[in-house]
Amino acid sequence: MKTVKGSMLLAGVLLLWLGNQSLQGQTELKFNAASALILIPNVGIEVPISNRFSFQLDLSGSFWDSFDGKPLQFTQAFGEVRYYGKDGIEGFFFGGNVGFGMFTLTKYGYDEDVYQSGRNYYIGASIGYKKSLSERWALELFVGGGTSQATYRAYSQETRMRVDIPLDEDRNFNKSGEWIPYRGGLMLVYRLL
Protein backbone atom coordinates (compact mmCIF):
# COMPACT_ATOMS: atom_id res chain seq x y z
CA MET A 1 0.00 0.00 0.00
CA LYS A 2 3.03 2.32 0.51
CA THR A 3 3.78 2.06 -3.21
CA VAL A 4 0.23 3.18 -4.06
CA LYS A 5 0.43 6.17 -1.69
CA GLY A 6 3.86 7.13 -3.02
CA SER A 7 2.63 6.94 -6.62
CA MET A 8 -0.43 9.06 -5.82
CA LEU A 9 1.77 11.67 -4.06
CA LEU A 10 4.17 11.82 -7.02
CA ALA A 11 1.28 12.15 -9.47
CA GLY A 12 -0.29 14.91 -7.32
CA VAL A 13 2.98 16.88 -7.29
CA LEU A 14 3.23 16.46 -11.07
CA LEU A 15 -0.35 17.73 -11.49
CA LEU A 16 0.44 20.80 -9.38
CA TRP A 17 3.60 21.46 -11.36
CA LEU A 18 1.78 21.17 -14.69
CA GLY A 19 -1.02 23.40 -13.39
CA ASN A 20 1.48 26.18 -12.66
CA GLN A 21 3.07 26.11 -16.10
CA SER A 22 1.92 28.79 -18.50
CA LEU A 23 1.73 27.01 -21.82
CA GLN A 24 -0.09 28.62 -24.76
CA GLY A 25 -3.55 29.46 -23.51
CA GLN A 26 -5.67 28.03 -20.76
CA THR A 27 -5.00 25.19 -18.37
CA GLU A 28 -8.04 23.12 -17.41
CA LEU A 29 -8.65 21.24 -14.17
CA LYS A 30 -11.11 18.33 -14.43
CA PHE A 31 -13.24 16.19 -12.14
CA ASN A 32 -15.13 13.11 -13.38
CA ALA A 33 -18.71 13.44 -12.10
CA ALA A 34 -19.72 9.99 -13.43
CA SER A 35 -17.02 8.05 -11.57
CA ALA A 36 -17.63 10.11 -8.42
CA LEU A 37 -21.16 8.68 -8.30
CA ILE A 38 -19.67 5.23 -7.63
CA LEU A 39 -17.06 6.69 -5.23
CA ILE A 40 -14.10 6.29 -7.58
CA PRO A 41 -12.32 9.66 -7.85
CA ASN A 42 -10.89 10.67 -11.24
CA VAL A 43 -9.15 14.04 -11.64
CA GLY A 44 -7.14 15.52 -14.47
CA ILE A 45 -5.36 18.49 -15.94
CA GLU A 46 -5.25 19.45 -19.62
CA VAL A 47 -2.80 21.95 -21.11
CA PRO A 48 -2.80 23.21 -24.71
CA ILE A 49 0.36 22.60 -26.72
CA SER A 50 -0.93 24.28 -29.92
CA ASN A 51 -4.24 25.58 -31.31
CA ARG A 52 -5.60 22.05 -31.86
CA PHE A 53 -3.41 19.79 -29.73
CA SER A 54 -3.30 19.34 -25.96
CA PHE A 55 -1.78 17.08 -23.36
CA GLN A 56 -3.90 15.63 -20.55
CA LEU A 57 -2.74 13.87 -17.40
CA ASP A 58 -5.39 12.18 -15.28
CA LEU A 59 -5.46 9.98 -12.22
CA SER A 60 -8.12 7.68 -10.82
CA GLY A 61 -8.33 5.27 -7.96
CA SER A 62 -10.60 3.01 -5.98
CA PHE A 63 -9.78 2.31 -2.37
CA TRP A 64 -12.49 -0.20 -1.42
CA ASP A 65 -11.08 -2.73 1.06
CA SER A 66 -14.25 -4.70 0.45
CA PHE A 67 -16.87 -4.24 -2.25
CA ASP A 68 -19.48 -7.01 -2.24
CA GLY A 69 -17.10 -9.04 -0.07
CA LYS A 70 -14.14 -8.69 -2.45
CA PRO A 71 -11.26 -6.19 -2.65
CA LEU A 72 -11.55 -3.46 -5.29
CA GLN A 73 -8.42 -1.36 -5.06
CA PHE A 74 -6.66 0.26 -8.00
CA THR A 75 -4.80 3.36 -9.05
CA GLN A 76 -4.30 4.50 -12.63
CA ALA A 77 -2.39 7.34 -14.26
CA PHE A 78 -2.85 8.26 -17.93
CA GLY A 79 -1.06 10.63 -20.26
CA GLU A 80 -2.92 11.51 -23.43
CA VAL A 81 -2.19 13.68 -26.48
CA ARG A 82 -5.43 15.02 -27.98
CA TYR A 83 -6.33 16.48 -31.35
CA TYR A 84 -9.36 18.79 -31.60
CA GLY A 85 -11.32 19.32 -34.81
CA LYS A 86 -11.30 23.11 -34.36
CA ASP A 87 -9.05 25.69 -32.71
CA GLY A 88 -9.25 26.33 -28.99
CA ILE A 89 -9.27 22.77 -27.54
CA GLU A 90 -13.03 22.52 -27.73
CA GLY A 91 -15.59 20.41 -29.59
CA PHE A 92 -14.92 16.87 -30.88
CA PHE A 93 -11.53 15.33 -30.11
CA PHE A 94 -9.64 12.07 -30.33
CA GLY A 95 -6.43 11.14 -28.60
CA GLY A 96 -3.86 8.47 -28.01
CA ASN A 97 -3.02 7.48 -24.45
CA VAL A 98 -0.61 5.46 -22.35
CA GLY A 99 -1.39 4.53 -18.77
CA PHE A 100 -0.02 2.61 -15.83
CA GLY A 101 -1.79 1.11 -12.85
CA MET A 102 -1.72 -1.12 -9.80
CA PHE A 103 -4.59 -3.30 -8.61
CA THR A 104 -5.92 -5.73 -6.02
CA LEU A 105 -9.26 -7.17 -7.16
CA THR A 106 -11.09 -10.26 -8.37
CA LYS A 107 -10.66 -10.41 -12.13
CA TYR A 108 -13.70 -11.32 -14.20
CA GLY A 109 -13.91 -15.02 -14.95
CA TYR A 110 -11.84 -16.15 -11.97
CA ASP A 111 -12.93 -18.07 -8.86
CA GLU A 112 -14.69 -15.60 -6.55
CA ASP A 113 -12.69 -16.85 -3.54
CA VAL A 114 -9.48 -15.73 -5.24
CA TYR A 115 -8.20 -12.20 -5.82
CA GLN A 116 -5.37 -10.90 -7.97
CA SER A 117 -2.80 -8.26 -7.09
CA GLY A 118 -0.40 -6.73 -9.59
CA ARG A 119 0.47 -4.02 -12.08
CA ASN A 120 -0.61 -3.21 -15.59
CA TYR A 121 -0.10 -0.81 -18.45
CA TYR A 122 -2.51 0.49 -21.07
CA ILE A 123 -2.12 1.66 -24.65
CA GLY A 124 -5.16 2.97 -26.46
CA ALA A 125 -7.29 5.82 -27.74
CA SER A 126 -10.12 8.08 -26.61
CA ILE A 127 -12.86 10.01 -28.34
CA GLY A 128 -15.05 12.70 -26.87
CA TYR A 129 -16.69 16.09 -27.00
CA LYS A 130 -16.05 19.20 -24.88
CA LYS A 131 -18.72 21.93 -24.63
CA SER A 132 -18.19 25.32 -22.97
CA LEU A 133 -20.82 26.43 -20.48
CA SER A 134 -19.16 29.79 -19.71
CA GLU A 135 -15.74 31.40 -19.90
CA ARG A 136 -14.46 29.26 -17.01
CA TRP A 137 -16.68 26.15 -17.05
CA ALA A 138 -17.17 23.30 -19.54
CA LEU A 139 -18.42 19.71 -19.71
CA GLU A 140 -16.57 16.90 -21.44
CA LEU A 141 -18.04 13.52 -22.37
CA PHE A 142 -15.46 10.88 -23.33
CA VAL A 143 -14.81 7.16 -23.70
CA GLY A 144 -11.61 5.26 -24.35
CA GLY A 145 -10.08 1.83 -24.48
CA GLY A 146 -7.35 -0.32 -25.91
CA THR A 147 -5.04 -3.02 -24.67
CA SER A 148 -4.37 -3.73 -21.00
CA GLN A 149 -1.35 -5.89 -20.22
CA ALA A 150 -1.03 -7.12 -16.62
CA THR A 151 1.37 -9.04 -14.42
CA TYR A 152 -0.12 -10.31 -11.17
CA ARG A 153 -0.25 -12.95 -8.47
CA ALA A 154 -3.38 -14.74 -7.26
CA TYR A 155 -4.23 -15.18 -3.59
CA SER A 156 -6.88 -17.00 -1.56
CA GLN A 157 -9.25 -14.57 0.17
CA GLU A 158 -9.48 -16.91 3.15
CA THR A 159 -5.80 -17.69 3.76
CA ARG A 160 -4.13 -14.74 1.93
CA MET A 161 -1.65 -17.27 0.49
CA ARG A 162 -0.71 -17.62 -3.18
CA VAL A 163 -2.82 -20.13 -5.08
CA ASP A 164 -1.45 -19.76 -8.60
CA ILE A 165 1.92 -21.57 -8.43
CA PRO A 166 2.14 -25.30 -9.10
CA LEU A 167 4.40 -26.93 -6.47
CA ASP A 168 7.01 -27.96 -9.06
CA GLU A 169 7.26 -24.58 -10.80
CA ASP A 170 8.89 -21.34 -9.64
CA ARG A 171 6.93 -18.67 -11.47
CA ASN A 172 6.98 -15.09 -10.19
CA PHE A 173 3.95 -13.61 -11.94
CA ASN A 174 0.98 -14.55 -14.09
CA LYS A 175 0.42 -12.46 -17.21
CA SER A 176 -2.71 -11.49 -19.08
CA GLY A 177 -3.69 -9.14 -21.87
CA GLU A 178 -7.10 -7.93 -22.97
CA TRP A 179 -8.67 -5.43 -25.33
CA ILE A 180 -11.09 -3.51 -23.11
CA PRO A 181 -12.78 -0.16 -22.56
CA TYR A 182 -10.90 1.36 -19.60
CA ARG A 183 -11.75 5.07 -19.55
CA GLY A 184 -14.88 7.14 -19.72
CA GLY A 185 -17.16 9.58 -18.02
CA LEU A 186 -18.43 13.12 -17.78
CA MET A 187 -15.76 15.60 -16.74
CA LEU A 188 -16.62 18.88 -15.08
CA VAL A 189 -13.99 21.28 -16.43
CA TYR A 190 -12.69 24.46 -14.75
CA ARG A 191 -10.43 26.77 -16.79
CA LEU A 192 -7.60 28.67 -15.15
CA LEU A 193 -7.52 31.95 -17.09
Spatial CA neighbour of 101 closest among 38, 46, 58: 58
Helix and strand tally (H, E) in the chain?
A: 2, 8
Least confident of 36-40, 89-93, 182-186: 36-40
pLDDT tens profile 21-57: 544 458 999 999 999 998 899 999 999 999 999 999 9
Q: What is the pLDDT of residue 22?
A: 47
CA nearest to 188, candidates 128, 131, 144, 135 = 131
Would the pTM count as exceeding 0.75?
Answer: yes
